[in-house]
Amino acid sequence: MVANALEMLVVYPDPPPTDLARMLDLSGYRWKAVSSTDEATRNEPAKGWAGAIIVCDEDPEAAWLFARSLRKRDTPVSPVVVLVSGAQLADLELRDDLYEDFCLTPFHPRELEARLRHLLWQSVGGTRPELIEHGGLALNLETYQATFNNHPLDLTYMEYELLKFLAQNPGKVFSREMLLSRVWGYEYYGGARTVDVHVRRLRAKLGEEHANLIQTVRSVGYRFGQSRWGS
């Protein structure tokens, strides 16, 4: 179960860059792309936008006008992350009231996701970390800590990422190729054996008693835990 699920993000412009849309989808964010302030207002959720991502390197003038419109509202949208080119860095200081953080384009998906996650956690006060819990397993998405029955698991970054992805989708079967794409990212060109190696290490660290949390589905791939219909 994912605690404190994120609300909807507004993204400008529509359509957004393909790499941005892919990062948001793979990271599990709910988002809506818009092409104008009016469209953002019409599509705003009842609880308001949880934050905004604004791409400023394609049409800077229109993008900064959109950012300013979010700040001028009765309830300003926050946090705002802007994506800018290196040539725009000199202008950022003049507009520092319009955003909380920025990322240079072309961005690395994991860097942008980490910045966004940190800002969204701060915006809700950071009073309760976002957790994934399954039985005795607990994954803290803010601190990247993993425990089983309150005992810490010593995981590498990619072991944690793989376990997190599987635990977020209990009962679903994923092929090795799909796991490579969804966990390691579309920019990774390693072979499917990478997945097998990481699964073997995770099982060893979970211990013999709990190794079957990650199940092998013969000729298909892997799944986490039992599906609701059983094995």
pLDDT for 83: 97
Does 118 lie in the same domain as 136? no
Q: Does residue 231 sit within a domain? A: no
Burial of 130 (0-12, 13-18, 19+ CB in 10 A): middle
* Number of structural domains found in the chain: 2
pLDDT for 225: 82
pLDDT for 199: 95
- Decide: helix, strand or coil at residue 132: strand
Q: Does residue 57 sit within a domain? A: yes
- Closest to 45 (Cα-Cα) out of 76, 13, 7: 7
Q: Does residue 3 sit within a domain? A: no
How far is 63 from 78, CA to CA, in rounded Å? 16
Of the three residues 123, 154, 180, the one that is the final residue of a domain is: 123
Q: Which two tokens stand for residue 42?
A: 């019409």
Does 106 lie in the same domain as 73? yes
The answer to whether the peptide bond before residue 106 is cis (omega within 30 degrees of 0) is yes
The crossing angle, in degrees rounded to 10, of helices 109-123 and 18-26 is 60
**What are the pLDDT tens digits along the chain (231 aa)?**
333 344 799 999 999 999 999 999 888 889 999 999 999 999 999 889 999 999 999 999 999 999 999 999 988 999 999 999 999 988 888 898 999 999 999 988 888 888 888 788 766 554 455 788 887 888 988 777 889 888 899 988 889 999 999 998 888 999 998 898 888 875 556 677 889 999 999 999 998 888 889 999 988 999 998 533 333
CATH number at residue 138: 1.10.10.10
In terms of residue numbers, what domain contains 61? 8-123
Rg (CA), the chain: 20
pLDDT for 26: 86
